[in-house]
Amino acid sequence: MHRSLPKLCLSLSVAAVASAGLSATAHAQGDNGFLRGEGKTDISFNYSYEKFSRFWVGDDKVHDPAIGKVYRESYNFWAAYGLRDDLDLVAQASIVRADTTGNPRMRDHSALQDGVFGAKWRVFDQRLGPGSFTIAATPAVKIPLSHYEANAVTALGDGQIDFRFRGVAQYQLDCGAYLAVETGYDVRMGGTPNQYPINVSLGATVFDRLTVTPFIEYMHSEGSDDIGQVDFPDVEEDYYRWGIGTYLRLNEHIGVTAGYKATIDGKNTGDSWSYWAGIVFKI
């Protein structure tokens, strides 16, 4: 049985290179433990679309004809630079547009949203059974890059600064298949409740080129107020979401990425689905 394993899986180096491209969609599906390597840079541009017509007010799912359907389009930039083999510097920014089919006073608007600046530092790497177990610290700060609309159904974001104390634990088989768990604690400024995420990703690469990663996201905030009781950024927002991400390596320098995710359950959030597609350059 063990002798057939290499035939079913790729070599570790090929799978790691392909899977690292999925970090370019970390904002959409959670992060993993892969790093660029010293002196190497990944740059990604992608487009994402999100839509919902029902949403949770507290634990109750509702539909409001005055709001109608809400959608958001995002144009996202992401970059990571390998300062050392065990340390990446990471930055991302988005331009977001939001609109609704309901009340015309809920205007169509767009703006430069948030910038996220952080690092990924592999602090532990240990051989374990038929693979390796790693832990990476991924601290970051999220900063609004403009004075965008934050207190509306069509809000472009929460409009405040976050200090993100997160990390990723990952187990990767020698064949390249991996399981990554990202979690931590986000300290949020203003009246916005602090929160903690749990993102679980399972990835594998086939045909030396295509990496497929199903994932589950959970977010819990520490607030206690529902929509209508306080400003939108200050409500307790919780959700469970599932999705699948893909990365296709075209050659050693270019790849394309795409994915889909949907909300399973939530609190004070939209019953949304979304998709994204983009291109990744490896320098």
Domain ranges of the chain: 2-282
Q: Which two tokens stand for residue 14?
A: 């090929």
Residue 143 pLDDT: 98
Of 31, 22, 39, which is closest to residue 200 (Cα–Cα)?
Answer: 31
- What is the Cβ-side half-sphere exposure of residue 158, based on CA atoms within 13 angstroms? 19
Q: Would you say domain 2-282 falls under CATH 2.40.160.40?
A: yes
Segments of the chain with pLDDT less than 70: 1-27
Whether 268 contacts 238, CB under 8 Å: yes
Alpha helices (runs of H) in the chain, residue ranges in sequence order: 5-8, 12-20, 26-29
Give dist(CA 21, CA 33) in Å, integer.
11
The model carries a pTM of 0.89
Q: What is the pLDDT of residue 9?
A: 55
Phi-psi region for residue 68, left (φ > 0), alpha (ψ -120 to 50) or beta? left
Asked whether 134 and 108 are in contact (CB, 8 A), the reply is: no
Stretch (H or E) spanning 59? none
Distance in angstroms (rounded) separating the CA atoms of residues 198 and 196: 7
CB 196 within 8 A of CB 187: no
DSSP labels, 62-113: E--TTT--EEEEEEEEEEEEEEETTEEEEEEEEEEEEEESS-TTS--EEEEE
Q: What is the pLDDT of residue 23?
A: 64
In angstroms, the CA 28 to CA 160 distance is: 20
